[in-house]
Amino acid sequence: MDAAPAPGPVDSLRPTAIPRPWIKPLLIASRDRRADHAADDPAVRRYWSAIIGPGAVADLLRLISAAVAGRALRRPLHLQVLLREGLVQAGAGSLLVERRVPALSDGQQSRLSPRLRAEYRSLLENDEPPASRRS
């Protein structure tokens, strides 16, 4: 019986492995939406993770961070999910992201569990300015 080879640096990838390309995301001006969330807002992880999954949320936050810092990163694994949900836009040879994460639309909220949906709507109502709550 032969022993396994000693661990060491890997000089090459297996022939079928395709490294993900490097991209440099760009910041675009955020639309003026009252209920948007800052990227570090706990609501982003709590509610968006329930909609698109924690991996896609982590990819989104990495894209925002890279765009703010002006650095490149590997193409996200969950890019198609982010594009489908409108969290990222495809530009000419680059990805465009906003600094703030949009609030969930009514359709997205309907995909939440009833408990999370009620919690999210309460969060949005409590964030409104007092004048708009009276009307």
Residue 54 has pLDDT above 70, yes or no: yes
User: What are the angstrom distances between the C-alpha of 70 and each of 1, 27, 115?
Assistant: 52, 9, 39
Q: How confident is the model at residue 10 (pLDDT cuts 50, 70, 90)?
A: low
Residue 46 has pLDDT above 90, yes or no: yes
Residue in 24, 20, 19, 36 with CA at minimum distance from that of residue 86: 36
Residue 34 has pLDDT above 50, yes or no: yes
Q: Give the domain ranges of the chain.
A: 23-127
Distance CA 17, CA 13 (A): 6
Mean pLDDT, rounded, for 69-87: 94
Query: Mean pLDDT in the chain?
Result: 85
Mean pLDDT, rounded, for 62-82: 95
**Tokens, residue 29:** 């001006």
Residue in 135, 129, 109, 110 with CA at minimum distance from that of residue 43: 109
Residue whose token pair is 């198609």: 80
- 93 dihedral zone (left: phi>0; alpha: psi -120 to 50; beta): left
Distance CA 56, CA 53 (A): 6
pTM of this structure: 0.79
Q: What is the pLDDT of residues 84-117, one digit of tens each?
A: 999 999 987 789 999 999 999 999 999 999 999 9
Predicted confidence at residue 101, as pLDDT, reads 93
Predicted confidence at residue 17, as pLDDT, reads 78
Q: What is the pLDDT of residues 118-133, one digit of tens each?
A: 999 999 888 654 333 3
Residue in 101, 36, 103, 23 with CA at minimum distance from that of residue 64: 101
